[in-house]
Amino acid sequence: MRTGNEPVTARSPLRLRFWLSLWGLLWAAAGAAAFSLAGRPGWAAACAALALVAAVDLAVVVRHIHQGPHYQPGPGVPPYEPPHRAR
């Protein structure tokens, strides 16, 4: 059921994004190495570019995780109230 406050209490699944980025980084780096050894420079460059994108995403996710639960995406975004817990 929608309550109308979803944007206020929404959370990004950062740990899932962390593991998916790590998985993608490992596969893209392995692909770049394998294609490089196989003599396919185009495919190796494509995998290396994908590895770079995954590494940047991984760095962003780690930074957001270290900022804690009250990460705000910019100075123009007001702080939110944490969800109230049932007593």
pLDDT of 64 reads 83
Q: Examine the pLDDT at 40 and tell me if it is beyond 60.
A: yes
- 27-64 burial string, b = 16+ CB within 10 Å, else e? ebbebbeebeeeeeeeebeebbebbeebbebbeebeee
- Tens digit of pLDDT for each residue in 3-39? 555 565 666 688 889 999 999 999 999 999 999 999 9
- Grade residue 58 by pLDDT with cuts at 50, 70 and 90: very high
What is the reported pTM?
0.66
